[in-house]
Amino acid sequence: MKALVKAKPEPGLWMEHRPVPEIGPEDVLIRIRKTGICGTDIHIWNWDDWAARTVPVPLVTGHEFAGEIVDMGRNVEDLTIGQRVSGEGHLIGKQSRQSRAGKFHLDPATRGIGVNEPGAFAEYLRLPAFNVVPLPDAIDDEIGAILDPLGNAVHTALSFDLVGEDVLITGAGPIGIMAAAVARHVGARHIVITDLNADRLALARRVVKDVEAIDPRERDLGEVIRDLGMKQGFDVGLEMSGSQAALDQMVEALVMGGRIALLGIPPGKSPVDWSRIVFKAITLKGVYGREIFETWYKMIAMLENGLDVREVITHRFKVDDFREGFETMRAGSSGKIVLDWT
């Protein structure tokens, strides 16, 4: 089979021929149709310090996918050959306190497909049946291929009650934009998203109805709060950028007792003014991946009932043109990029 492989400890990925994976009694074999390029894949392409510490070489990469089941292990139940699926890319252990309590997304033994284990940038993927998520007819392969990052957005956005709340999102990358779409779908009042990239702010305005998309260098958040008629500030913050400056701005723009969910990862250690967080009685929640499987249930239900994130996909490439896809994403102005394996 064709596969995109991190074949050498240096920048780039390489198209290689690899054996079709052999499945065990609890696994399924998935024929990949579409895959999404993730920011994690860019780190692996660039071979930065995190990738060099984390990714074994050689490795088939990729973890955002949609496809169909073409083979199943003898112990697999409730799935069928030919069924369209996506799947949870976090492979959990079964022995930790968290897993035994059903809090699978908190399992410390988690390993990721395409990061620690062979991934989905290939014609075929072996996946434990436990991780498989069937796709309803209402969700096509293209959307199915971006359920992983949409799940990050849903997990972050639904960390706190958003109904009637004023929400500040820092970072207008694809996940931040999808989080804004989720906030709008579930009934937030005012939604403001900030970024320094004009192209991504424009994309946010296209994807999300009535969002205020601003560059904080050009428009002060205090002015935005006044213009929108908010008496104190934002109720909820969703930090998606990994920028310390953005987090500092968010803390100042929140009401007393405000709540912040953090998905963005800073590039290194950051100086935090904890006194401001303490004296404003702010709640912080770190978000990692998706709640397995509650996030999947909620996002599929929302997609079946009007949540529309398709416009966050800005580029589509045949897999043989993967280099162009990666270079487009590395340029920093695209939304989601989908590779077609059919």
Q: Is the Cβ–Cβ distance between 73 and 67 less than 8 Å?
A: no
Q: Is the Cβ–Cβ distance between 261 and 235 less than 8 Å?
A: no
Rounded to whole angstroms, the Cα distance separating 272 from 251 reads 10
- 295 in catalytic set: no
User: What's the order of all strands across the beta sheet hosting 59-60?
Assistant: 14-17, 2-6, 59-60
User: What SS3 class is residue 158?
Assistant: coil
Rounded to whole angstroms, the Cα distance separating 178 from 61 reads 24
Q: Which residues pair with 169 in a beta bridge?
A: 193, 238
How remote is the C-alpha of 235 from its chain's centroid?
23
- Choose, from 35, 40, 170, 295, the residue flagged as catalytic: 40
Rounded to whole angstroms, the Cα distance separating 16 from 2 reads 6
Q: Is the Cβ–Cβ distance between 48 and 12 less than 8 Å?
A: no
- 43 in catalytic set: yes
- Choose, from 43, 63, 155, 185, the residue flagged as catalytic: 43
Q: Which residues have a catalytic role annotated?
A: 40, 43
